[in-house]
Structure 1
Amino acid sequence: MKNKSVEILEKYIDSQKNICKKYNSNFNKIDEKLFIGANYNLKLEPINGLRHPIHGKLNGWYIWSGEWSDSDDFFKPICLEHLIELKPEIIKYFGLDIGFRFLANDKGYEDVWFDQNITSLK
């Protein structure tokens, strides 16, 4: 029996591949067993996301809204299933490759770009 995260990812695999094609990214399937770094104030718009390489128990995705903070506790680990419950509209970006970023809001604005500076952990 598949877990809920795997079922959700499979449902949206085509939309993830379409986003990758649209923005010239290789498709890089997210590891649903690892955590995402998220700022829990995701009610503000727009939503920001960026993908670093996998590091420890984090799959490389960092998601936030509102003002950026360099605080050590700005990002907290969250499982994919819980993040999808909070922001299901961003699942389509989770196939983007390492180095990609996105900025999106609930009114249809979307910007996706590659940022070489985030392709390695520092």
Structure 2
Amino acid sequence: MKVNVQRDVCMRFGADFFGCDLSLKVGVARNVQDGLRPLNGLRLQPGNDVCGWYLWAGDEFSHAEDFFVPLHGIHLKEWAPLVIPYLGLPPGWRFLITEQYEDAWEDPQLLESE
């Protein structure tokens, strides 16, 4: 079911589906658990034990070294189930969502800095 929903999101935004192994780690800001909106995500290239996703809540992004903590993707079911349909978007994509709003777009600059 989850993969079909992720494929539907990709199709809606004209993106290729790029699966996300939830046994791998995501970088997640602690504020994602707080119910703060919007939820933001960006995907870099996966590697080793990470799937490439970085997630945060609210309007403020931080470059602080401790802003993101590693979390196995499977725990997103408790932390932020709202993001799971968007995790099939490929590297170089972003999303911004709330319960009433969604946007996803390609951002090639995400892959240039790698």
Normalised by the size of structure 2, how large is the TM-score? Answer: 0.90
- Counterpart in 1 of 2:104? 112
Q: Is the 8 A contact 2:23 2:74 kept in 1?
A: no
Task: Give the 3 Å change call, closer, same or farther, for CA 35–121 of structure 1 in structure 2.
Answer: farther
Normalised by the size of structure 1, how large is the TM-score? Answer: 0.85
Structure 2 segments unaligned to the other structure (5+ residues): none
CA distance in 2, matches of 1:77, 1:18: 27
Over residues 55-112 of structure 1, what are the superposed CA-to-partner deviations in whole Å (9 max), with x where a residue is unaligned? 3322100000122111011100001121121211211001001111000012x11111
Does 1:29 pair with 2:19? yes
Alignment RMSD (CA, Å): 1.3
Structure with the bigger percentage of strand: 2
Structure 2 residue identity aligned to 1:30: C
1:1-122 aligned within 5 A: 11-42=1-32, 43-66=35-58, 67-106=60-99, 108-122=100-114
Following superposition, the deviation at residue 41 of structure 1 comes to 0.6
Q: What stretches of structure 1 move > 6 A for 4+ residues in a row?
A: none
Structure 1 segments unaligned to the other structure (5+ residues): 1-10
